[in-house]
Chains A and B, each alone.
Chain A
Amino acid sequence: MTRYPLAIAVLAAGVGFNVLAGPPPGQVDFGKFTPPGDGGQFVEIQINSNLLSLAAQVVEKQQPDAAKLLRSVQLVHVNVVGLTDGNRAELEKRVGQIRHNLDAQGWDHNVAVQEKDGQDVGIYTKTRGGEALAGLAITVIQPKEQVVLINIVGDIRPEQVAALGDKLDIKPLKDIGAALKKPAPKDTAPKEAAPEN
């Protein structure tokens, strides 16, 4: 054992590094969702870096800007769960817990909007090195319809979400992205709107 101290040290460091590597800092674990009964809506999309890189390769020649956008993203995770009388309370509580965890983990709470109809939107960003974004998390509760949770890992800003949704053809991303682009309606009450980055 003592003949190869350097090799053992390198191996141990490698193993230790792998153990410590874990998920990237911008990734949020929303947990598993149970599809609602009664034909309720349930959408789960998880596009990882392999697939994003593939999509970037495909559009590289025709749309270099789109390829650049796709390459700046490592993971796109979308959950849409329809609200029913059976799961409403549990899901609202769970979204509250996710938001609490994001605050506790040092995510910047950029936007919080609660509209009169009860729609509740939260936008969180995680920065890396003070400038680049490590991740973006969006939580939406539409009380009569659904809960939408979006996590995008990579250097992408909220205003680029619609473009990403367009390129990947993911409707919830397009919808949320379009809503983010619109000016805040008069009946909204932003609780907090001070991006720290």
Chain B
Amino acid sequence: MNPPSLPPVPRRSALRLWLWLFVLAPLLLFLVLAASVASFLHLGSDARALRNGLIKSSGVEWRQQIAVNAGHLTLDAVRAGLSRVKLDPAARAALQSVRSAGVGVYQLPPGASRPDRAAMLAAADSTMTARGWERVVGVMDHKDLVAIYLPGKNVSVHHLKFCVMVFDGKEMVLVSAQGNPEPLLQYALNQSDLCAQARRLAQR
């Protein structure tokens, strides 16, 4: 007895699927690459919220000079790429410490009135507190304003996050980073003359 005949293989559908994949794969790859490149040019969400709060409170249109961001994947790739390269121990320690980092630099346009730093600090506090951060340092002196924020909870030496804002009356710099500072601190503590060097630099 002959077996019942099988239904015809849908060759045309399979072919169509492969065709779509062939067309879509490069497109997806392009989109992923574009998203990755775009992510390099945007700050992380906390730093972005801090920047928006500061800009809004200052009432001035700031000029963005630079905004770069490197996330876990990027830095993991850099670490892997440089793993066999002979690096300066300090650079190696820094690379091992940082898991993600972002920097934004913004400038006041010429002729703009100097923003109220107290209002900027209050706005920064309000934004960051709402996101679970605490200000550990706030300094205003002459034209300068410095604020350092750390997460309100779960601060650990193995997983440290921070956001720093520095404004010198003309330029505002925002830095956010996340990582494990142990390798870098270990390197610093092993340098017997590092503290003396730092003091000498600070006195200049």
Contact = CB atoms under 8 A, between A and B. Distances in A.
Interface in B96-138: 117-118, 121, 134-138
Contact of B189 (A40, A46, A51, A62): A62
B185 interface: yes
B155 A54 contact: yes
A170 to B, nearest CB: 9
Contacts of A50: 150, 153-155
B91 interface: no
B157 interface: yes
Nearest to B139: A43
A59 B188 CA distance: 11
Contacts of B155: 50-51, 54
B136 A39 contact: no
B140 interface: yes
If over half of B's interface residues share one DSSP class (helix, strand or loop), that class is named, otherwise mixed; here it is: mixed
Contacts of A42: 118, 138-141
Interface string B134-163: 111111111100000010011111001000
Interface in A32-58: 34-35, 37, 39-48, 50-51, 54, 57-58
A58 B139 contact: no
Q: How large is the interface on A (under 10, 10 to 19, 20 to 34, 35 or more residues)?
A: 20 to 34
Contacts of A46: 134-136
Interface residues of B, number: 24
A4 to B, nearest CB: 31
Given A34-B118, A35-B118, A46-B135, A58 B157 contact: yes
Contacts of A34: 118
Contact of A54 (B141, B153, B157): B157
Contacts of A40: 140
B120 to A, nearest CB: 10
B137 A44 contact: yes
A193 B142 CA distance: 37
Given A51-B150, A54-B157, A58-B185, A45 B137 contact: yes
B136 A45 contact: yes
A2 B140 CA distance: 59
Contacts of A45: 136-138
Interface of A: 34-35, 37, 39-48, 50-51, 54, 57-59, 61-62
Q: Which 7 pairs of residues, A with B, have the shortest CB-CB distance?
A: A50-B155, A42-B140, A44-B138, A35-B118, A39-B142, A57-B157, A54-B157
21 contacts: A39-B143, A40-B140, A42-B140, A42-B141, A43-B138, A43-B139, A44-B135, A44-B137, A44-B138, A46-B134, A46-B135, A46-B136, A50-B150, A50-B153, A50-B155, A51-B136, A51-B150, A54-B156, A54-B157, A54-B160, A58-B182
Given A39-B141, A54-B156, 17 more contacts: A35-B117, A39-B140, A39-B142, A39-B143, A41-B140, A41-B141, A42-B141, A43-B140, A45-B137, A47-B136, A50-B153, A50-B155, A51-B136, A51-B155, A58-B182, A59-B189, A61-B189
